[in-house]
Amino acid sequence: MKKLFISLTIIVISICFLIMCERTIPTPDIGGELGRTEISDSRGIPLEYGKLISVTSPTRGIAHFWFEAEDKTIRQVQIIYGLGKTGLYTKRVRVIKRY
């Protein structure tokens, strides 16, 4: 009787897990990687990066400026601020080509 109870419990738990689990949709292979570049002039952000479209702040002390160029390329520039200082402390830029 005890073995039957354990077996039924395992079957019920297995069925519950199957019902609760979400099926994942496979991610399509879009190819390529995000480009990365650096700002060579620390005086500011180059005008050719285009129009500022958004500013996000993933965490305190960091701001991401999002730009869209005329060719629809999107660039994200990370600005680090705080501690009494504000400026372009990182030269990393993510480049997202659109087609």
Please give the model's pTM, rounded to 2 decimal places.
0.56
More confident residue, 92 or 51: 51
87: left (phi over 0), alpha (psi -120 to 50) or beta: left
Specify the number of domains making up the chain.
Answer: 1
User: Does residue 1 surpass a pLDDT of 90?
Assistant: no
Mean pLDDT of the chain: 77
pLDDT band at 30 (very low <50, low <70, confident <90, very high): low
**Neighbouring residues of 92: CB distance < 8 A, sequence distance ≥ 6:** 36, 38, 78
In which domain, by residue range, is 89 found? 32-96
| Domain presence at residue 76 | yes
| Domain presence at residue 83 | yes
19, containing H or E segment: helix 2-20
